[in-house]
Chain A
Amino acid sequence: MDDFIAARSQMALSLAFHIVFSCVGMVMPFMMAIAHYKYLKTNDALYKGLTKAWSKGVAILFATGAVSGTMLSFELGLLFPKFMEHAGPIFGMPFSLEGTAFFIEAIALGFFLYGWDRFNKWFHWICGVIVGISGLSSGILVVAANAWMNSPSGFDYINGEYLNIDPIKAMFNEAWFSQALHMTIAAFCATGFAVAGLHAYLILKGKNIVFHKKAFKISATMAVIAALLAPLSGDISAKDVAQRQPIKLAAMEAHFETEKSAPFVLGGIVDQANETVKYAIKIPGVLSFLVHSDFNQEVLGLNEFPKDEWPPVPIVHYAFQIMIIFGMLMMGIAVVYLFARFFKKEWLNKRWMYQLFMVATPFGYIALEAGWTVTEVGRQPWIIYGIMRTVDAITPMPGIQYSFYIFTLVFVSLSIVLVFLMNRQIQMVAQLYDPNDPNYNPEKH
């Protein structure tokens, strides 16, 4: 493995790992706040238990997100020092604001976790909401920084120098809104489905059913709303990408030749040598419609661009397909659930409904990671789109592959430990969190 691939892989791995926890941090506080609100309104101790159960899980995941985020702030420099040397002053502003948001989040979370029966109950509730709002802002700010890499602005690039730096313009670059919107909705969708799926599984197992059903209802509702909004924000993103980075859009669709009334390519195997996609479903005119809202408009193909500026087409195409497929599956589940909620109440208690959600547990995260792959790999070979190539940004230090192996080991073992810990949390629901269970006795632990 050469240093360039190793550095990119390490960065990709670190981000792929961090993204999971940051999304949990963005979304779970809102679910907790809903359960907490229900407790305050109804005084049903079950909701208090649910809030606490969720918050314990969140504390573990939040800490993992905090350390992996700290690592990323160093890794940017460790792996791509040339990039940070030039980009730091330009796109640093969202990072400084993100720091503030994280600060507020960490303090509010501390208040929330240690505040049971110590604060005024509504102040305590507000602390939980603040955790969510600051988590959400952190996410949006970091995505704004990433969007700058796709849509560099706020400076003039003259003879290899970065002049007239304007950090505010850089932060509100053209891509920030569509990327942040899509990412936020995706985070709600992913976390919502993961949590709903987990509780669905526990309902099927038949223990603490009332407890898990309440949890399921909150998380499934959130997941369903997000799953229906995701395609809309995806459409905004796609139009935006087509305008700013037509080459990325062409790679997403493995669209080699510029053509009018371009078809939407679903699935298939990319044959880059012959510049075709085999075994794909092609829906005529739909790509043109998606990009330009007109079935006959022209869509630029990869061949319009020099080959050394092409991103790795198969990876981007497959990642995009995975995102679309899982996004559609989740939308389908959402439609079924909503239909049941409004017209067929009896479906809601059917085993197949819970099985459906159980199977969908990882769907949101699969789509999220795939979507992020599209954004990042689709930008290659550029680290700052059109300005600096990734290969020119990498650290001169040799032997990065060892660093990559070590970090891989760390992330894999941490993931295993986290699954183990979450499993232990779930085992303890009866004793610690569900007041209706005969074994309930939180004092003992």
Chain B
Amino acid sequence: MIFVVIAFLWTALGMYVIFGGADFGAGIVEFFSSRDFKEKTQRIMYNSIGPIWEANHMWLIIAIVILFVGFPKIYADLSNYLHIPLTIMLLGIIARGTSFTFRNYDVIKDKWHNLYAHIFTFSSMVTPFFLGIIAAATVSGTIDSNATDFLSAYIFSWLSWFNVSVGIFTVAICGMLAAVYSIYSVENEEDTVHLRGLAKKFSVAIFITGGIVFAVSIWKDVPLLRWIFSEWYGYVAVGLATLSFIALYYAIEKRYDITIRILASFIVLMILFAVSYSHFPNLVLFKDGTYLSVMDIQHSEKTIALLG
């Protein structure tokens, strides 16, 4: 039963990264669109994510609920040590969600829309950045459960070069997902060209920021590479992701619109797989080398059974 629940948790996370990522990416794409294209991008993004963005919250809530029902210790510890980045992420979620809705449902179009748009793009950058930091902090051993002072317990638990580089990487992934996702909902030639260009730029950005993540992990001695490449599946996942990248670039060029969506999602899932599987069953690694495992469930078997 426990494996079913873990599978659910992983699926919810994966779905959130793919769909929520495309959703965050909408604001990022808008941010990097040139002035001439800004309004157009806004309309395209509205058409592609407008109908689904609210359902995206769901994946996050499912993951959270599974976490606190099935693995309450993990939920409680993360909430504790990552209080600050989680709070910033929450403020980002509320700011972008409301500004997006206000922009689209406010019936009078005037300068207020610029304000909503600014809030939306800014918070769309901040939210996935901190989401990346949070994800990295859980697995990179920065959380210091023995800390006694405020800085080590609540700031350096998440603020590290490695975690920040993962944050930037996450922003690039979201941008790519949104650009790729929305190509599909565009009708005219000019917009398609514009979005394809952006999708390619973001793919390059993923390559560069991904490289930085690797470089920082070597520099700061985060044992990321060692985990990922400790077993054959690590090589396979990273290899498949890289091959998919090349294929993605080619598919964007050749305009295989469905293929690029599938490839983009596949790349994201492979990255998630490479990182999470090499840690499994450990979910949270602490600075002192101890960990919280998803298999540590002594007395909530009935709950787990019901969740499954």
B34 within 8 A of A: no
Q: Judge whether B150 and A398 touch: CB under 8 Å.
A: yes
Is B289 among interface residues, defined by CB-CB distance under 8 A?
no
- Cα distance A397–B81 when bound, in Å? 8
Chain B, range 104-124, C-beta contacts under 8 Å to A = 105-109
Partner of A403, one of B77, B87, B106, B153: B87
Q: Which residues of A contact B61 (CB under 8 A)?
A: 69-70, 73, 99, 102
> Is residue B279 within 8 Å, beta carbon to beta carbon, of the partner chain?
no
For B65, give its contact among A62, A92, A395, A399 (CB under 8 Å).
A92
Interface membership of chain B positions 26-67, coded 1 if the CB is closer than 8 angstroms to chain A and 0 otherwise: 000000000000000000000000011011011011101110
Q: Smallest distance from the beta carbon of B170 to chain A beta carbons, Å?
A: 18
Is A387 interfacial (CB-CB < 8 Å)? no
User: Does B107 contact A78, Cβ atoms closer than 8 Å?
Assistant: no
Cβ contact within 8 Å between B65 and A95: yes
The complex places the Cα of A84 from the Cα of B52 at a distance, in Å, of 30
A121 at the interface (CB under 8 A from B): no
The distance from the CB of A181 to the nearest CB of chain B, in whole angstroms, is: 25
C-alpha spacing A82/B60, complex, angstroms:
21
Contact between chains at A85 and B76 (CB < 8 Å): yes
Q: Is the CB of B65 within 8 A of A99?
A: yes
Q: Quick check: is B194 within 8 A (CB to CB) of the other chain?
A: no
Q: Are A71 and B93 in contact, with the CB atoms below 8 A? A: yes
A96–B102 Cα distance when bound, in Å, is 29
A340 at the binding interface (Cβ < 8 Å): no
Q: With both chains docked as a complex, state the minimum distance between the C-beta of B51 and any C-beta of chain A, in angstroms.
A: 5
A165 at the interface (CB under 8 A from B): yes
Q: A77-B76, A110-B51, A168-B306 known; A397 and B107 CB under 8 Å?
A: no
Query: How far is the CB of A299 from the nearest CB of chain B, in Å?
Result: 38
Hey, what's the 0/1 contact readout for B222-241 against A, CB within 8 Å counting as 1?
A: 00000000000000000000
Is B75 part of the contact surface with A, judged by Cβ < 8 Å?
yes
Residue A60 interfacial (CB < 8 Å): yes
The residue on A at minimum CB distance from B12 is A99
Nearest B residue to A414 by beta-carbon distance?
B98
Instruction: Please state if A82 and B93 are interface contacts (CB–CB under 8 Å).
Output: no
B86 touches A78 (CB 8 A): yes
- B6 CB, nearest partner CB in chain A, Å: 15
Q: Which residues of A contact B64 (CB under 8 A)?
A: 73-74
Chain A residues in 8 Å Cβ range of B307: 96
B181 at the interface (CB under 8 A from A): no
Does B7 sit at the interface, judged by CB under 8 A?
no
Partner pick for A397 among B52, B154, B302, B306, CB 8 A cutoff? B154
The reply to whether A96 and B54 contact each other, CB–CB distance below 8 Å, is: no
Q: Does A89 lie within 8 Å of B300, measured CB to CB? A: yes
A165-B55 in contact (CB<8A): no
A85 to B221, CA, bound (A): 32
Taking a contact as CB atoms under 8 Å apart, the answer to whether A66 and B54 are in contact is yes
Stretch from A185-193, A351-359, A420-428 at the B interface: A420-428
Given A56-B107, A63-B98, A424-B107, check contact A109 B54 (CB 8 Å): yes
Given contacts A84-B76, A167-B302, contact A114 B51 (CB under 8 A): yes
Q: Map CB proximity to A onto B260-299 as digits: 1 under 8 Å, 0 otherwise.
A: 0000000000000000000000000000000000000001
> Are B107 and A84 touching (Cβ within 8 A)?
no
Docked complex Cα distance between A349 and B162 (Å) = 69
Instruction: Assess whether B210 is interfacial by the CB under 8 Å rule.
Output: no
Q: Which partner residue on chain B sits nearest A432 by CB separation?
A: B107
- Give A399 to B75 CA distance when docked, in angstroms: 21
B259 within 8 A of A: no
In the bound assembly, the distance between CA atoms of A75 and B68 in angstroms comes to: 12
Give the Cβ gap from B198 to chain A, nearest Cβ, in Å.
26
Known: A81-B76, A397-B154. A163 touches B299 (CB 8 A): yes
Contact A56 B105 (CB under 8 A): yes
User: A71 touching B90 by the CB < 8 A rule?
Assistant: yes
Which of A85, A110, A398 sits near B72, CB closer than 8 Å?
A85
Docked Cα-Cα span, A176 to B65, in Å, equals: 20
Decide yes or no whether A144 CB sits under 8 A from chain B: no
A:404-442 near B, CB below 8 Å: 406, 410, 414, 417, 421, 424-425, 427-428, 432
Asked whether, in the complex, the Cβ of B69 is within 8 Å of the Cβ of A89, the reply is: yes
Separation of A89 and B66 alpha carbons in the complex (Å):
9
> Which residue of chain A lies nearest to B68 when distances are taken between CB atoms in the complex?
A88
Known A63-B100, A88-B72, A445-B107; further 8 A-B contacts with Cβ < 8 A: A66-B57, A74-B64, A78-B79, A88-B76, A92-B65, A93-B303, A106-B57, A410-B94
Q: 8 shortest A-B CB distances, which residue pairs? A: A92-B69, A77-B79, A88-B72, A63-B101, A88-B68, A85-B76, A89-B300, A81-B76
- A-to-B contact residues, CB < 8 Å: 56, 59-60, 62-64, 66-71, 73-78, 81-82, 84-90, 92-93, 95-96, 99, 102-103, 106-107, 109-110, 114, 161-163, 165-168, 395-399, 403, 406, 410, 414, 417, 421, 424-425, 427-428, 432, 445
Listed A/B pairs (15) with beta-carbon separation below 8 Å: A66-B54, A67-B94, A70-B97, A77-B78, A78-B87, A81-B76, A81-B80, A87-B72, A90-B303, A96-B62, A102-B58, A103-B58, A109-B54, A410-B91, A417-B102
